[in-house]
Amino acid sequence: MPKEASLQIAEEVIDEESQVNVGPSSQYVEVRSEVPGDRLQARSQSSSNQLKLSVGGEEDSPEEDDINQLRQSMHMWHLHEQESEEFAEIGDDVGLSAERVQSIIAGQGLLFPPLHEGSFVEEVFSEKGPKSHNGYLFGAKIGEGSYAKVKEVVDETTLVRRAVKIIKHSRLRKIQNGQENVERELRILNKVKHENVIRLIEVFRREQKNKLYVVLEFCMGSVQQLLDAAHENRLSDAETHRYFVDLIKGKHNWGKWFSLEYLHSVGIVHKDIKPANLLVSLDYTLKISDFGVAEELSQFQKDDSCQVVQGTPKFQAPELVSGNTESYSGFASDLWSCGVTLYNMISGLYPFEGAVIMRLFDNIAHADLVMPTNVELHPDLVM
């Protein structure tokens, strides 16, 4: 059989077998609505209740890189051979019958045998089923950070959707204070129990993969994703009101404690409240998440003073960036970040900007606050 025909069919088989996917990926379009939360659901052209299951491993593996390298090598070989050989037609004497082609397409045979025993090439032509670990069926990736990725999973016992954060220790070691931040976040999530705080389900390890799996309640997305998809990157008044009330007061006031007040009551200073760290659950309840840089105050501490400054620069309070004090009120700094978040949600802008970080800090510390002019504000709010 001519090499050109073999290569063409082999490339098609590789592409078909290595890119099988079950379930549509979400595509977002802009749909305006004054009803809180409606736009989030309308933006997804595929229902948010559809589980996206990837056929293959629950995580990226070195084999996938090898497969991509093989495909690229075959493509380059194909281009090189074009210069020296003409395409040969497949005739009856080639030995590739219609039945043979159909069996190859159906996955019942190989176009040519593996290069050698134990070669990863064999994996290219074998279909992998959805992966299951520790009682969870792994689905599509829904997020990724510097040292972790987040995937959607289904509890095989209850069929409840969850999210799992897969933390790679090899990447974590490269992040300053990475291990410390992960341990702190897990400790805090084990401690706090509130409707407006993301709920930790369980944690497990796979030692052979050197990875940590943190299972959390499933959320549709973040407020930041809503802003990114919205017209002029801002939410409607109704949406802004709903999510900000959830952030400050909570959905059902959770007994006598409001959501942010609850965190402070148990000695937690979040330090990084912003739209990206505010998730929206399936029933449109706001969930405070990402406690990686949060600080646990000592129960013997007389006040809420903090010394370490962490968080996102645009959301930091003036006393944190002025350079005039060695400590600051942790609870007050969280409230300031909530105010910047409100400003951002309603206007799509930030109260202070700066071309470089030092200019931004100088503006936060000394510039006058100017209320947004691209939205109509109640007269009592205009300064």
Q: What is the mean pLDDT of the chain?
A: 78
**In the prediction, which pLDDT does 320 show?**
94
**In the prediction, which pLDDT does 11 show?**
53
Rounded CA-CA distance 235/375 in Å is 11
Question: Do 75 and 152 fall into the same domain?
Answer: no
**In the prediction, which pLDDT does 130 show?**
75
Residue 23 scores a pLDDT above 50: no
Rounded CA-CA distance 35/355 in Å is 36
Asked if residue 62 is part of any domain, the answer here is yes
Confidence of residue 143 (pLDDT cuts 50, 70, 90): confident
Residue 315, domain extent: 230-381
Question: Do 349 and 280 fall into the same domain?
Answer: yes
Among residues 219, 246, 280, the one where a domain terminates is 219
CATH code, domain with 302 = 1.10.510.10
Annotated binding residues, written as ranges, equal 165
Residue type, 201: I
Question: Do 356 and 298 fall into the same domain?
Answer: yes
Residue 69: partners with Cβ closer than 8 Å, 6 or more residues away: none
**In the prediction, which pLDDT does 208 show?**
84
Question: Do 92 and 156 fall into the same domain?
Answer: no
CB of 76 closer than 8 Å to CB of 166: no
Residue 146 scores a pLDDT above 70: yes
Question: Do 236 and 368 fall into the same domain?
Answer: yes
**In the prediction, which pLDDT does 267 show?**
94
**In the prediction, which pLDDT does 126 show?**
53
**In the prediction, which pLDDT does 46 show?**
43
Rounded CA-CA distance 256/100 in Å is 72
**In the prediction, which pLDDT does 147 show?**
81
Closest C-alpha to 165, from 201, 135, 130, 196: 201
Question: Do 190 and 254 fall into the same domain?
Answer: no
What's the number of CA atoms in the CB half-sphere (13 Å) around residue 171?
13
Asked if residue 206 is part of any domain, the answer here is yes
Q: What is the pLDDT of residues 70-106, one digit of tens each?
A: 777 776 666 655 555 454 454 554 455 566 556 655 5
CATH code, domain with 161 = 3.30.200.20
Confidence of residue 136 (pLDDT cuts 50, 70, 90): very high
Question: Do 276 and 366 fall into the same domain?
Answer: yes
What's the mean pLDDT in 273-300? 94
How many Cβ atoms from other residues are within 10 Å of residue 129's Cβ?
10
Query: In the chain, what percentage of residues exceed pLDDT 90?
Result: 49
**In the prediction, which pLDDT does 116 show?**
52
Asked if residue 284 is part of any domain, the answer here is yes
Q: In the chain, what's the furthest Cα-to-Cα distance? A: 90
Question: Do 329 and 251 fall into the same domain?
Answer: yes
Question: Do 274 and 305 fall into the same domain?
Answer: yes
**In the prediction, which pLDDT does 308 show?**
92
CB of 196 closer than 8 Å to CB of 246: yes
Closest C-alpha to 224, from 280, 297, 293: 280
Helix locations, the chain, DSSP H:
3-18, 38-43, 62-84, 98-105, 121-124, 169-172, 178-191, 223-229, 237-248, 259-265, 318-321, 330-347, 357-366
* 58-62, 137-141, 194-198, 378-382: range with lowest mean pLDDT: 58-62
What's the mean pLDDT in 204-227? 93
Question: Do 281 and 338 fall into the same domain?
Answer: yes
Q: Which residues are catalytic?
A: 272
Work out how many domains the chain is built from and give that number.
Answer: 3
Among residues 71, 100, 124, the one where a domain terminates is 124
Question: Do 246 and 204 fall into the same domain?
Answer: no
**In the prediction, which pLDDT does 207 show?**
84
Quick one: CA torsion of 350, 341, 222, 284, rounded to 10 degrees? -140
Length of the chain, please? Answer: 383
Among residues 124, 148, 174, the one where a domain terminates is 124
Closest C-alpha to 54, from 135, 140, 156: 140
Asked if residue 32 is part of any domain, the answer here is no
CB of 150 closer than 8 Å to CB of 218: no
SS3 of the chain: helix, strand, coil, percent, to 5: 40, 15, 45
Asked if residue 29 is part of any domain, the answer here is no
Asked if residue 46 is part of any domain, the answer here is no
Asked if residue 350 is part of any domain, the answer here is yes
Q: What is the pTM of this model?
A: 0.67
Question: Do 267 and 350 fall into the same domain?
Answer: yes
**In the prediction, which pLDDT does 253 show?**
54
Tell me which of 67 and 320 has the higher pLDDT.
320
Q: What is the pLDDT of residues 151-208, one digit of tens each?
A: 999 999 999 999 999 998 888 888 888 889 999 999 999 999 999 999 999 999 988 8
CA distance to 7, 80, 84, 176, per residue, from 73 (Å): 11, 11, 17, 38
Q: Which residue has the tokens 């052209």?
A: 45
Residue 289: partners with Cβ closer than 8 Å, 6 or more residues away: 197, 198, 216, 219, 277, 278, 279
Annotated binding residues for ATP, written as ranges, equal 165
Asked if residue 35 is part of any domain, the answer here is no
